[in-house]
Amino acid sequence: MNSAGAAKRRAPEGLNPEALHAAKGVRMNAVNLGLTLTDCLQEGMATDARAQGISPEEAMQRANTRIPMGRIAKPEEVADAVVYLASVRTSYVSGVVLTMDGCTTPMVV
């Protein structure tokens, strides 16, 4: 059983699961992250750098070059987006998946 099929069976005909929650004032949004410059990421980069025989700075530079925007996200940028999605300024927004990966994921319009 896949999750889409399970959700469809549990929801009344014509309603999606998000609609059931929306009627109660609950909005569902998500943030799909790429690399974010956290302590954990930096530790992982340092470990990876040692394994490759390069400096942590070189590992970071290589990671940045793989991102079309040329840099890794800052935690504050992620926090700002989450606060915005949770704010009253987006009170009519629901069902959004906000991708924050520096344009790594292709977008179909």
**Is 56:46 a contact under the CB 8 Å cutoff?**
yes
Bridge partners, 68 (sequence order): none
pLDDT at 18: 76
What is the per-residue pLDDT across 38-84, written as a single tens digit (0 to 9) for each?
999 999 999 999 999 999 999 999 999 999 999 999 999 999 999 99
* Confidence band, pLDDT 50/70/90 cuts, at residue 12: low
Per-domain boundaries in the chain: 14-36+74-109, 37-72
CA 103-44-98 angle, 5° bins: 30
User: Exposed, middle or buried by CB within 10 Å (0-12, 13-18, 19+), for 39?
Assistant: exposed
Q: Tokens standing for 35?
A: 């690399």
pLDDT at 15: 61
